A and B are shown apart, each in its own frame.
Chain A
Amino acid sequence: MTRDLWKHLILIFGALIVIAPFYMMISYSFKSPGEIDRGEGGFFGRQEMMVDERCVKLRDPDRDDVATAAPRFPNQTDRQIRDALVAEAVADCQMRPIVFNYTKAFTEAPLLRYLLNGVIVTASIFLIQIVVALPAAYALAKLKFWGREAVFSIVLFCLLIPVHAIALPLYIMLAKVGLTNTYAALVVPWTISVFGIFLMRQFFMTVPDDLIDAARMDGMGELAIVWRVMLPTAIPALLAFAIFSVVAHWNDYFWPRIVVTGNRDLFTPPLGLREFKGDGDGSFFGPMMATATVIVTPLIVAFLVAQRRFIEGITLSGMK
């Protein structure tokens, strides 16, 4: 029992360190700038009303505003009307820090657009990867043809090349054909997943030949066999690969950083966060952490919901 206690103590210590930045990220996304600066307010902050200075500044009344508002304040001097309007603005610009942080996250930068880009990019990458890899994996696993060994050795060789490593020549090639700053640039280098081909081939090797022969007897062509026989049998492996692929590309920062410069419409979530950090001033810790939370949350939640599948998918690369 004491031995188990020691184990728990060690593991809890590790867990605290692992959790700390998550805790801080979420906590800061709840707090007002003052609370962040002074390091107070516990996890949720006190959630006292705070005034958004920028909002007040934006509504600073000019001469016209005062003139239009005059009927509402009869018998008062311009100066008094102006003060009343400022007071109104301050009242309107009051909000809870948590609301402030999260609205700022979505309004200060087009975060929704970034998230949408992230979805578009990861989804297209995965779909194209499957469309390309599945037939090839099937042919390599189950069809006999001249040159199969050669193709497979190319696959094995390409497994050695991390795409990040050849980012520079890829960037040059894309620049030469004028594709930088497009969705294509974000997707194209990942369309071929050698790992996916290898993985699916290994999986298809375990599918009995009889199943394919039966499909041929039933009159299916090879392409139909790929999509109507092999694809359904490969669903578990595909799901794992999907998780592997989506996690990698949702979180990828290096490649988007290279091919997307300036054009905010193409920013993926990590790029958007980077941009936010780049032009943020001190008071924007809260909204920035809110943005970070929004970006990290989808995968974390999906992971917590379907833990076993995720771990399977991510460790997939470790299987023989």
Chain B
Amino acid sequence: MDIDETHTPNVVYAETAQHRTAWWLTAPALCLMILILLVPVVIAGILSFTDYSLGNDTFNWVGAKNYDRLFSSSTYEKMFIATFTYVVTVVPLSVGLGLGAALLINSMGRIGDIYKTIYFLPVMATLLAMAIAWEFMLHPSIGMVNRTLEMSCGTVLEFIPFLKNGCAERFPLWLGDRDYAIWVICFIGVWQGFGFNMVLYLAGLTSVHRELYHAAEMDGAKSAWEGFRLVTWPALGPTTVFVVTISCIRAFQVFDTIEAFWPQGGGPNKSTYVMMFAIFEKGIQQNLIGIGSAITVLFLVFVMFLTLIQRWLVERKVHY
């Protein structure tokens, strides 16, 4: 307080005034937070125990029936399989490639900036537009991918079984093939996401003190690998925790590509029926709010669990 201490009543007045302004300043944010973020979570929780649908005035409590269906029906089994396949594939690959690219680029000075720019392009681009571009690329007959693969026919590359089969019969349908669809989605997920991880790692790398590498050398670290183990990797610890968490959360939310490729049904044989798509299809399109809410609740549990793990890991390492 700047007010002269002798005027005690003024100080008290000023403090209550400050309290009031503080509340006025936070009130809009607080109201919106409650209304837009907290209330919907509660609503989702409540509705997941009902058979509510929009347009109906009433609803019935159905207990845990919605959750029962989630864990018993084969459709939802496919949903969990697709979601976890995607997360478990995309997260390590996009984190690993991001780290690899960051290390390579970081080691090569200014020329590396070109690669940085290129690798970051997919992060900026509208994913839906790029999904459509990929759909053309993967078109079974006129797509660039199969055309490129066809070029290898008749060359030495044909010893690779995949190419040999492709040349003998036909190359995969990619998006139309239940064995390939989910992997194509994963590939696009990695394609889009690793540049983001790369710049996070690059930012992390700039904060590594150069003298630490010299210290490691003086201490007897002879190879680049030993320097990485002793200095780089530990220094990137917090970055890695963050990158893995945010990659997980983003991976859980995959939707655009799947909706663009298969507006109905979640891919061949529901092989790409991920949770966000399920929420969209059940809750919005089919107006089955109860089951949609149940998926929403599960989704929130996964995501919150991940973030809490992240926070715990960061806090544990806070004394750096």
Contact = CB atoms under 8 A, between A and B. Distances in A.
Interface of A: 4, 7-8, 10-11, 14-15, 17-22, 24-25, 28, 36-37, 39, 131-133, 135-136, 138-140, 143-148, 151, 154-155, 158-173, 175, 188-189, 191-192, 194, 197, 213, 216-217, 221-223, 226, 247, 250-251, 253-254, 257-258, 269-270, 273-274, 277-278, 285, 288-289, 292, 295-296, 299-300, 303-304, 307, 310-311, 314-315, 317-320
Contacts, number: 267
A166 B19 contact: no
Across the A-B interface, the 5 shortest Cβ-Cβ residue pairs: A136-B29, A169-B40, A145-B22, A192-B32, A135-B25
Given A135-B28, A140-B26, A164-B276, A175 B54 contact: yes
Contacts of B125: 22, 251, 296, 299-300
Contacts of B231: none
Interface in B1-45: 2, 18-19, 21-23, 25-26, 28-30, 32-34, 36-41, 43-44
A24 B256 contact: no
A165 B300 contact: yes
Contacts of B30: 136, 151, 154
A125 B227 CA distance: 46
A129 to B, nearest CB: 10
B242 interface: yes
B61 interface: no
A142 to B, nearest CB: 9
Contact of B126 (A166, A269, A303): A269
A299 B122 CA distance: 11
A311 B287 CA distance: 40
B256 A254 contact: yes
The number of chain B residues touching the other chain, given as a range, is 35 or more
A166 B40 contact: yes
24 contacts: A14-B97, A18-B122, A19-B118, A21-B137, A22-B130, A132-B28, A132-B29, A135-B28, A135-B29, A143-B21, A145-B19, A154-B30, A165-B300, A166-B296, A167-B284, A167-B296, A172-B54, A175-B54, A192-B29, A253-B256, A277-B260, A310-B120, A318-B204, A318-B243
A169 B44 contact: yes
A311 B120 contact: yes
Nearest to B243: A318
Contacts of B308: 160
A310 B124 contact: yes
A292 to B, nearest CB: 4
B122 A160 contact: no
Contacts of B234: none
B18 A158 contact: no
A138 B22 CA distance: 9
A295 B36 CA distance: 29
B93 interface: no
| Highest count of chain B CB atoms <10 Å: which of A21, A22, A274 | A21
Interface string B40-69: 110110010000001000000000000000
A138 B246 CA distance: 27
Contact of A154 (B19, B33, B133): B33
B239 interface: yes
Nearest to B27: A136
Interface stretch (B72-80, B81-89, B102-110, B169-177): B102-110
A310 to B, nearest CB: 7
Given A143-B22, A292-B133, A170 B40 contact: yes
B238 interface: yes
B280 A11 contact: no
Given A169-B41, A258-B280, A300-B124, A315 B133 contact: no
A126 to B, nearest CB: 15
A158 to B, nearest CB: 5
B105 A166 contact: no
Interface of B: 2, 18-19, 21-23, 25-26, 28-30, 32-34, 36-41, 43-44, 47, 54, 97, 101, 104-105, 107-108, 112, 115-130, 132-134, 136-137, 142, 144, 147, 191, 195-196, 199-200, 203-204, 238-239, 242-243, 246, 249, 253, 255-256, 259-260, 263, 276, 279-280, 283-284, 289, 292-293, 296, 299-300, 303-304, 307-308
B199 A11 contact: no
Contacts of B28: 131-132, 135-136
A5 B195 CA distance: 22
Secondary structure of the A side of the interface?
helix
B296 to A, nearest CB: 5
A317 B33 contact: no
A165 B33 CA distance: 15
Contacts of B253: 162, 164-165, 254
Contacts of B36: 163, 170, 188-189, 191-192
Contacts of B242: 318
A146 B54 contact: no
B292 A168 contact: yes
Contact of B133 (A25, A135, A155, A317): A25
B283 to A, nearest CB: 4
A212 to B, nearest CB: 10
Given A295-B126, A299-B124, 9 more contacts: A165-B253, A165-B296, A170-B40, A191-B36, A217-B2, A288-B132, A292-B132, A300-B125, A314-B199
Nearest to A145: B22
Contact of A146 (B19, B116, B122): B19
